[in-house]
């Protein structure tokens, strides 16, 4: 199971920052919220529901499809082909599944920009997860049922997502400049993962 944003490309691209700006604009434009309250509200929603999206669904009955389309309407031109990444993915045995809290359309666009779409067997997105984001347990249960296996490895840029994965006995890799004692391996980029670990 491989995360998408900030895992297969570096956060310096600014893509995730742009998504966050779109979410703020959505909350201001469609829910008439004052900008100064949005950051604290989003933090509360993430702690309470696991994501801003679920908080808005529960409290404002928003259309999640429209929200996801709006939030992920971003320029991906800062993402470039990465041959080292492509070669690393080619060497991985077994199924490679994108496990993302973004919609499938966004995942497809990112994978096409990186020219690695053909390296993946499937995409499990936030819509298939019934809009319940990692690190909630529910999407992990669904993805395990859909892709049964004796062995799972999860690669993600967020420690809390991997902590949940450990509860399901996944082998875990954190792709982040920050380190963690809660995972099996820490690297700063996907390309640094030793192939024998995968």
Mean predicted lDDT score pLDDT of the chain:
95
176 Cβ neighbours under 8 A, 6+ residues apart: 157, 158, 159, 186, 188
Name the pLDDT band for 192 (thresholds 50, 70, 90). very high
Residue 196, pLDDT score: 86
pLDDT tens digits, 81-122: 999 999 999 999 889 999 999 999 999 999 999 999 999 999
pTM score, two decimals?
0.94
Inform me whether the pLDDT recorded for 198 exceeds 90: no
Name the pLDDT band for 124 (thresholds 50, 70, 90). very high
| Residue 48 φ/ψ region, left for φ over 0, alpha for ψ in the -120 to 50 degree band, beta for the rest | alpha
Cβ(195)–Cβ(91) under 8 Å?
A: yes
Residue 197, pLDDT score: 85
The mean per-residue pLDDT over the stretch 126-134 comes to 96
């Amino acid at each position: 199971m491989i995360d998408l944003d900030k895992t297969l490309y570096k956060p310096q691209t600014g893509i995730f920052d742009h998504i966050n700006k779109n979410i703020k604009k959505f909350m201001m434009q469609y829910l008439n919220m004052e900008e100064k309250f949005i950051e604290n509200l989003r933090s509360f929603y993430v702690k309470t529901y696991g994501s801003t999206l679920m908080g808005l669904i529960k409290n404002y009955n928003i259309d999640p499809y429209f929200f996801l389309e709006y939030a992920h309407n971003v320029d991906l031109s800062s993402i470039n082909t990465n041959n080292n990444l492509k070669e690393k993915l080619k060497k991985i045995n077994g199924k490679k599944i994108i496990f993302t809290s973004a919609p499938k359309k966004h995942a497809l666009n990112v994978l096409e920009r990186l020219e690695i779409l053909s390296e993946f067997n499937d995409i499990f997105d936030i819509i298939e997860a019934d809009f319940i984001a990692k690190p909630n347990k529910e999407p992990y249960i669904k993805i395990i049922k859909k892709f049964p296996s004796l062995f799972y490895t999860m690669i993600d840029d967020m420690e809390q997502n991997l902590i949940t994965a450990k509860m399901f006995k996944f082998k875990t890799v954190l792709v982040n400049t920050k380190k963690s004692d809660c995972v099996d391996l820490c690297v700063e980029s996907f390309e640094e993962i030793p192939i024998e670990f995968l």
